[in-house]
Amino acid sequence: MSQELPRTATGARPMRKLPLDFEAFHRMYRPIYVHWAEIRLGSRADAEEAVDAAFEKLLRAWSTVLTKENPTAYAWRVLRHTTIDFSRARDRRPALIGEAAFETVALSQAVDPIGQFEESLSLYEAIGQLPPRQMDVMLLQFGQGFTVEEVAAALGITPAGVRSTVRHARRRLEHAYGVKRRLEATRPESAAQGKREDDGECDDFVRSGSEEGHADDIAH
Amino acid sequence: MPMTSHIDELLARARLRREPYTAADIDAAATRLAARAAVRWDAPEEPRCPTPDTRNARGSADADPAGTDPADADPVGENALGKNPCERGAAHETPADEHCSGSGQAREGAVDESSAADDLQTLCETVITHTGALADLRIFLARALPEPSGARVLGCMLQLSEREESARFWWQYAAGAGDPAASYCLYLHHRALGEHGAADWWHTQHAQTDAEAGPEVEITTTLRILRALKPDDSPVPEPVNAVLHYVPAAVAYVDDDLDLPLPDPDFTDRVRALTALTATAPASSTPAAPVVGGSAEATRRTRKRKPLPERRRPRRTATGSTQSPAPRKADST
């Protein structure tokens, strides 16, 4: 790819400077973009490449981007779609979010590494089933340890919006785990079927999983 | 609930080892970008699509009332968020070729994310400024069950106040009660977020509930014409503005166990008081009183919120003082 600088020997072409506001935007959000893309793509190098591609798109249409009602939120969508494209181009499925389980701090300190790995794997796979916005917020806040304010700024939403998204996501995860446990529990003896007051929510969870798949399919 | 803490424990152990991203990394990236931009912009063999440069997102739609290809209006929108099958997997290469050749294949009837967001903004502004809006809102909680039309208006107000999650809740309520405008709001809402599955679903719902509505193209066209006709600072009636400032502070998630964005207990009274301004003093007073007079909880939330004027269309300055008139006085002394 065009990672190299244009050789000045060939060019009378002076190197174009980035617009100042673009440069500032890039400086402000690039780290969090890269950290997010790292989870989606599994490596720093791929993340850099995808984020480069996203910023290039933004740069090419920068004046249009600035007219958007919420340029930051818009830029985040560009990043998201570009990264998903990128992972498709490499034949990767979004499910690879589960690979993050190799990289947890907890794993590096675990007394029971296999147990810890399995735990993180299933958690990240569950997060990978969340709707896009919830997935992004959970990955950034809990995976990468960004603060609510940092996440809000990068996604172009309010901190209150981030908190409420986290609340929804946590609920879905609870239900996902709840369903799993119930399945495990009811398999031997199907007596525990009495109390199922939250069936609707379980359906909701399942539906959201397919939504995410759908959204990703259509995205490109 | 033991399960809550269980998830919290899992999440606490989910933290990844984060390789730091340094200033040098950013500098290198900026240099790369400048180089790539220079190469690609100057390269003559790079065909640009004919239209995007000359049409901006808002202007083009008006010139294209049939809505034949709304996605065309926005170069990034189509490149990055594009629906072109041929663009699949090509994001890291030059997208321009695929962009041109595939633009006719955009999903039929599809509105892309950014125009959906614009349309939603226009629709919400239209809903809250239409003459019956406040009456709808007043009826909203006067009955034992909230009325769908009031829920729709409340949803639009919350959306305009950037409370998307809460807006969605009330639209869902209204749409569930058969309010077609609310299902259209939900359609645009999900489309704008790139949640196409949900968007399509609500679109179907809308088509079913509103059988005599024209095809979608007509609605989007209407919204765009409305947007074009409306000056950017078109005035919002003062009582609407007052309610608009009050609502985001008054509707909140009550607590973690009851996950519904519910209005404060005195919501109906306050809205009634605010909308009574319509009859008495249309444009004189600013709506500061209700917020200050609200519960302590509401006041706290109000301070934390960003002031409304960050919305795309600046409001008249008089309303800017809603946020916290008291501190301002304190400053001057």
**What is the ipTM score, two decimals?**
0.70
- Which chain B residue's Cα is nearest to A61? B76
B47-104 pLDDT, tens digit each? 343 333 333 333 333 333 333 333 333 444 434 343 333 333 333 333 333 333 333 3
Report whether pLDDT(A55) > 90: yes
Task: Tell me whether residues B195 and A18 touch, CB distance under 8 A.
Answer: no
CA distance A69 to A165: 21
Whether residues B61 and B123 share a domain: the answer is no
- Structurally, how many domains does chain B consist of? 2
Whether residues B61 and B191 share a domain: the answer is no
Maximum pairwise Cα distance, chain B = 68
For Cα atoms A62, A67, A72, give the angle at the middle one, nearest 5 degrees: 70
Highest mean pLDDT among B4-13, B83-92, B245-254, B312-321: B4-13
Partner-chain residue, chosen from B7, B38, B39, that has the shortest CB–CB distance to A173: B7
Single-letter residue type at B4 = T
B113-124 pLDDT, tens digit each? 777 888 888 888
Task: Tell me whether residues B34 and A16 touch, CB distance under 8 A.
Answer: yes
Task: Tell me whether residues B76 and A13 touch, CB distance under 8 A.
Answer: no
Residue B292: which domain range?
112-322
Give how far B146 is from chain A: nearest CA, Å. 22
Number of A–B residue contacts, CB under 8 Å: 243
Task: Tell me whether residues A145 and B10 touch, CB distance under 8 A.
Answer: no
pLDDT of residue A136: 93
Partner-chain residue, chosen from A3, A53, A171, that has the shortest CB–CB distance to B259: A171
B270-282 pLDDT, tens digit each? 777 776 655 444 4
A38-41 LR contacts (CB < 8 Å, sep 24+): A38/B19, A39/A97, A39/A100, A39/A139, A39/A143, A39/A144, A39/B16, A40/A83, A40/A84, A40/A87, A40/A94, A40/A96, A40/A97, A41/A83, A41/A86, A41/A87, A41/A90, A41/A92, A41/A96
Ramachandran angles phi, psi of B253, nearest 5°: -65, 125
Residue A41: which domain range?
19-92
Partner-chain residue, chosen from B16, B37, B121, that has the shortest CB–CB distance to A105: B16
- Which chain B residue's Cα is nearest to A74? B114
- Whether the pTM exceeds 0.80: the reply is no
**CATH number for position A170:** 1.10.10
Whether residues B231 and B101 share a domain: the answer is no
Please tell me which residue, B103 or B32, carries the higher pLDDT value: B32
Whether residues A33 and A82 share a domain: the answer is yes
Report whether pLDDT(A153) > 90: yes
CA distance B225 to B161: 23
> What's chain B's average pLDDT?
61
- Structurally, how many domains does chain A consist of? 2
Task: Tell me whether residues A119 and B164 touch, CB distance under 8 A.
Answer: no
Task: Tell me whether residues B165 and A56 touch, CB distance under 8 A.
Answer: no
pLDDT of residue A97: 75
Does residue B88 lie within any of the structural domains?
A: no
Which residues are CB-neighbours of B53 under 8 A, at least 6 positions away? B75
